[in-house]
Every structure is written in C-alpha cells, then in structure tokens.
Amino acid sequence: MIYLDNNATTMVAPEIKKQLYEACDIWGNASSMHESGRLANKAITEARNSVASLIGANSDEIMFTSGATEANNTVLNIPEGGRILVSKVEHPSIIETCKFLLSKGREVEFIDVDSSGIIRLDEYEKQLKKGGVSLCSVMAANNESGAIQPFKEACALAHKYGSLFHTDATQAIGKVDIDVHKDNIDYLSLSGHKFYAPKGCGALYINSSSPFNTFMHGGHQEQGKRAGTYNTTAIYGLGLAADLVMKEGSEERERLWSLREYLREGIEKTIDDISINSPQDMKQCLPGTLNVSFPGAEGESILLLLDNKGICVSTGSACATGSLEPSYVLLAQGIPVESAHGSIRFSLGRYNTKEEIDYVIEVLPSIISRLRAWSTRKK
C-alpha cells in the first residue's frame, strides 16, 4: 500500500509504537497520589514539557485534549460576547462551530481568501477596524490546499485592534516554524495524529496572560481547565512525537518538498488539462501537500481507482468525507465547481519514497484517460 493521505492522519512512528507498547504498563491514574499514579504523572509531565518546547511555550500553558477539534471548540467558546473573525477555509471544527454560534445569536464574520487560498489581510483588517471583535481565528496552514496562512501577521493585526488571537496549527506542526511567545499568540490547537503520534490526543496552548473559560467540567485535571481522566499512553506518545519532529527539523521539510515537486512535475508531463490548486512557493505551501484538479474526471472515481491500485489519496478534508458537495476550500479560492469536483489531494509524509511516487506517476495517466473517456460517452 502506498499511503499519500498524511494530512488526514499519519501512521504512528515505529520507534514511538515500540515505546507506547512499553508505556501500557504505566496504567495508574495520573491524579492518584500513590506510586502507580506518580509514574503516570511523570510520563504526562515529560510529554507536557516536550509539547511546550515544540511550540516555544511554558509547560504550564499546555492543556491536553482529545484532539484539535476539542481544542478549537474550547477556544471559540471562550469569548462571551463580541464578534468573531475566521477565514472561509478553516477546518470544519472551526467553520461548523461558528455556524452553531451564529444560530445562537453570536456575530461571526467569514473572511475571503485569494486564488491561492490565503486569507485577504486587507479584508481582515477592514473587519477589525469596525471594532467589537473579541476573537480572531486563522489557521496556520490549510489541510486541503496546503496554503500556509500569514497567521503571524493576522495575530499582530488582531492585537492592534484589541482582539485575542487563535491559530489552528494542526497541519503546520513539524512543517512550519512556530514560536507562540515570539509571535504573541494567545491560543494554539494541535493534534498528535497529524505528526506520527496516536489518535485521540491533542493539546491547546493557552497563553498565561490570556483569558480562559472551562469548556469540559468535572474533575480537577489540567489545573481545573479540562476535566477527564488522563489518556496517559496517548499523551506519552504525543510527547514522543514532539521530540521526533523537533529532532528532524528542516531536513525532512526539504525532502518532502523535493518529493512533492517530483510528483507535480510528473503529473504535468504525463496528463494534459490539469490545474494545481496548491501554492507553488515552498514559503506559502506545506512541503508535502499537492492538490490537483483533473477536469472531466470525478474526484471520487479517481480515488477509488487509485485505491484499487494500492494508492491511498483524498478528495479533500477527511472530516468532510461522505459529502457529495465540492470542497468549500477550493470554492473559496474561486476554483470552478467542475474542477473542484475533480480534485485530488496528495499529502506526503515521513515514510514516502521516490519509488512510490514513480508508481503513482505510472498508473495515474491511464486512470484519468479512462474516466475522461467515460465522461465524454455519458455526455
């Protein structure tokens, strides 16, 4: 199997998997005072320190969650009044939560993006100038197009006009340099399964000087900010993954970009009438993400035929799978409906090789030709 859907989820790194198996012996409740509890608490403390180091935070500013979806919901429920600004290409856990808040009478503004999928800072600032904004949320990088957002500039503008700022950094961890203190970020969300940790564990960074309202009530865990018994094994894995991506640094980013460009060039040479929906500059795009439209071929059909060849790709956000609607992210970029319907996202990761990309380039042209021929006959 050739797995090119790493923006949906990554495999647990083999070296982490081995340590997770051993960590299953740390089964005590981390809130307990006895030896078994202390061992679990020690593992969680180590993980907290690692996650904090990963994003330039203090360890007491890290709150463990079940993932970025919970973290995003938590942040959006912090302000009790005022307007909320978000981009039109945020993850569904932001977009759908904002729609819910709208239904409850809150004011939310969805900011346009340009043809590359990057937020229009001029429109964003125009909304800020109107006043009354309590929170701005702009993702660090998009999960479908790979577009890296100017989140640092968006943060500075938010603060200039008296608003708090949050960034969903789920896709950016290990691929984009982030220092929450240097960049003056108030809140940041992340999810472990996007960078080789197990699923079911993430974190929310909360700047020590920023306000916070508890979203999940119950026990005293996480300094009373988030109730629930600790998922010690998953949290331990999250810490190991943080150490892993910090160790790899920029070398892995360069390798992924080179592999991504090799794939793009191969597709462009072997298939006519395509369009690249991802930014073409490494400074503006996640290194392993390539979103391509194949007009005349349905994305779902391309996905299934590639799957039949042992290649795993995506037609968009995994959290939106099941919808027959074209990607709202691509539509926001101004991409025509037909092209959006015929889009495929290739997202490369740590374990992909040049040989795998060669195979994709070998089998993809005949699949597109076949689907286009069927489409022509149907017309």
From 98, 201, 285, 319, active-site residue? 319
Cβ-contact 148, 287 below 8 angstroms:
no
Q: How far is CA 36 from CA 19, 29, 31, 46, 49, in A?
A: 18, 7, 10, 16, 21
CA separation for the pair 372, 302 (Å, rounded): 10
Q: Within a 13 Å sphere around the CA of 292, how many CA atoms are in the beta-carbon half?
A: 23
Per-residue buried b or exposed e for 155-167, using 16+ beta carbons within 10 Å of the residue's own CB: bebbbebebbbbb
Beta bridge partners of 292: 276, 344
Strand-strand pairing, 108-111 and 187-191: unpaired
Beta bridge partners of 276: 292
> How crowded is residue 258: how many other Cβ atoms within 10 Å of its Cβ?
13
Is the Cα torsion angle 324, 328, 332, 333 positive or negative in sign? Answer: negative
Strand-strand pairing, 83-87 and 108-111: parallel
* Strand ranges inside the chain, DSSP E: 2-3, 62-65, 83-87, 108-111, 133-137, 164-168, 187-191, 202-206, 275-276, 289-293, 311-312, 343-347
Residue 319 known to be catalytic: yes
- The conformation of residue 198, written as its DSSP 8-state character, comes to P
Catalytic residues: 319
